[in-house]
Amino acid sequence: MCGILGIIHREPATHAPPSGCALSRLAHRGPDGSGAFADAHAQLGHTRLSIIDLSDSGRQPMTSADDRYVVTYNGEIYNYLELRAELEALGEHFVSHSDTEVLLVAYKIWGRACVERFRGMFAFCLWDRKTRTAFLARDRCGERPLFYVRDRDRLTFASELKALVPLLATRPVLDPAAVDMYLHYQYVPEPHTLLRGVRKLPAAHTLVVGPDHWLGEPLRYWSVEDHREIDVPRAPRDILAAVREGIEDAVKMTLRSDVPVGVALSGGIDSGIIASFAQKHSAEPMHAFCVGYPGRPAYDERAQARELAEGLGMIVNEVELPVADFVDFFPRLVRILDEPIGDPAAFGHYSVPKAAADRGIKVLLSGIGGDELFWGYGWVNQAAAVNQMLSKQPSLAALARWGAHPKVRGFLGRTAQAGALPEPVRHWAGLVHDLSLTAGPADQLRFYMGAPEFRDALLLKGAVIGPALADLNPNNAFAPTAIGPRGHDAVPAAMIRLLFDTWLVSNCLTLGDRVSMSVGVETRLPFLDVRLIELVMALRAQTPDHRLGQKAWLRAALKGVLPDEVLARPKAGFRPPVREWLSGVVVRYGGALRNGRLAAEGLLDRKKLSHLLDVMAQKDWAGLFIAYKLVLLELWIGEVATNPVALDMAS
């Protein structure tokens, strides 16, 4: 794992390589070394976290043997050994043992299609000195970040905003439409960012830019929705065996490393199966890291995690998180996150790689992705069922819009529960009531309105927003999920795509990347292995599983691999003392909102802020969460405002 940055210039000139000052802003991502390259059109920089081939042969930016290609690359290509053997069979030669050199040679042989052969996580810029083109690419799920800004003269890119913004000639301003999205999602769905003109290269996309190809747009090369046509079993027993073998193979691939590997472990299924297969294929006892809280409340999973880890022969490391620590640490957490992410689990997710780093562990396996791939969220299952129902009975959509009115919804809810009424009446009242909870734009699949936090923001934001947000299109928040209609059988795959393209990449993966890289630890996610994803999507295309219950295939496939009590345990998720944490933050730092930038720029109504902080935040969870998200955003704006702007990379 590493940090990358660079500038591609439209006109030739004499450019200095990236300075140490520019690279220092990514030193946390690559504490083991740095390097730079420059020619008439390209400036590339790199900070290195040494994971594979620890020698100087793996340094970057790396230049190909014929001096034509130069790459700055962040990530791991897990199947680099297989690709290297294939390329050697074609007559290619290698001077290092790094996956970076495999990437360079793969591009030489297969061109832009090389990304389709990579099994791993990556974000890179490859400069072709002969054709004067830059090829930027990002992995399929978006595990590695890549921000960029393009104007008439240059394209500037970096792994993080804190490294990108100082490279820009002018400071970007806040984008009200993105602020509105943040209020609903607790993050800004890519490719948007909060800064106007700053974009993210979307997951599973490439971008080609050069003096003679300046206006090229990102191109998608893969989608979880478009599963490959592969032979898959139909018998239930064979389906479960295929899932189990696919997960084990993915774990084996992510264990490839020249430095120690550990596991982030909770008491749940996802991290449990990662730990089980990882220890099975490790020659030495592995370190497991788990989080808990003072007094060991009911949601503290350390006991379950320890029992599982010790049963596997692992070394257990516990981290305890007092409430006061979160509140004190919050401003630093805002800096670490690099962009606002309102997920209350952020502190816990930071504490695990921090503990790993303290023990000298540079690679950490995580179970992130299991919920997204195997129907781990009840509201996503509900969304699939609702959209399939509407595809067969479109007239129900009109009833749902009628039922979305709060008074009507309340009436329908009471009717559905009225035992004295005939069953058909209660059934239809309940059906329309449930459909109304997922109502959204008529021309879109119904998705996020089934998620309580999104729906709460839609209902409550009017109590705090100012004119800059009030003037937006009322459907602005739904823009990230506007992928068009789908037929009945295509709905489940579309639901997975929407989850991958929003929540997974912009919340889970972005959060995981920033907190782990802030302490120089690389997080690897076996559930996001492309072969495993394509296998599961091909299986469910023939044998749908979304009506079987949450993680039905996963639980059944792991029978005999994990203890029955782990498989039977209901989904808990990461559950810190959320209310105490968020209340502490709002009380300690809420004053920044009252006379802050959000109010000054008309994004919030200054007169309503006291009501938000003093009444709404005390009243219920929805009001507290809105207040927390806004406090986080205000502190983040302060961080951006104090970040110095340099006119070029050499300054």
Active site residues: 2
Cα distance between residue 153 and residue 151, in whole Å: 6
Task: Output the CA torsion sign for 54, 525, 76, 190.
Answer: negative
**Distances in Å between the alpha carbon of 651 and those of 15, 58, 321, 644?**
11, 27, 41, 11
**Distances in Å between the alpha carbon of 476 and those of 185, 486, 562?**
12, 21, 44
Q: In the numeric block, which tokens belong to residue 408?
A: 């009507």
Cα distance between residue 270 and residue 366, in whole Å: 8
Cα distance between residue 352 and residue 345, in whole Å: 11
Cα distance between residue 8 and residue 157, in whole Å: 9
Which residues, 6 or more positions from 50, have their beta carbon under 8 angstroms from its beta carbon? 32, 33, 58, 258, 259
Cα distance between residue 45 and residue 6, in whole Å: 6
Task: Output the CA torsion sign for 453, 384, 204, 527.
Answer: positive
Cα distance between residue 313 and residue 52, in whole Å: 26
Task: Output the CA torsion sign for 471, 475, 481, 482.
Answer: negative
Q: In the numeric block, which tokens belong to residue 55?
A: 């020698």
Question: Left (φ > 0), alpha (ψ -120 to 50) or beta: where does 120 sit?
Answer: left
Task: Name beta bridge partners: 57.
Answer: none
Name the 3-class secondary structure at 47: strand
Let me know: does 126 contact 71? Beta carbons within 8 Å.
Answer: yes
Residues 29/271/349/336 CA torsion (nearest 10 deg): 20
DSSP 126: E
Cα distance between residue 501 and residue 495, in whole Å: 10
Name the 3-class secondary structure at 356: helix
Strands (E) located in 129-244:
133-138, 147-150, 154-158, 199-200, 205-209, 219-220
Place of tokens 């109502």: 439
SS (H, E, C) 494-563: HHHHHHHHHHHHHHHHHHHHHHHHCCCCEEECHHHCHHHHHHHHHHHHHCCCCCCCCCHHHHHHCECCEC
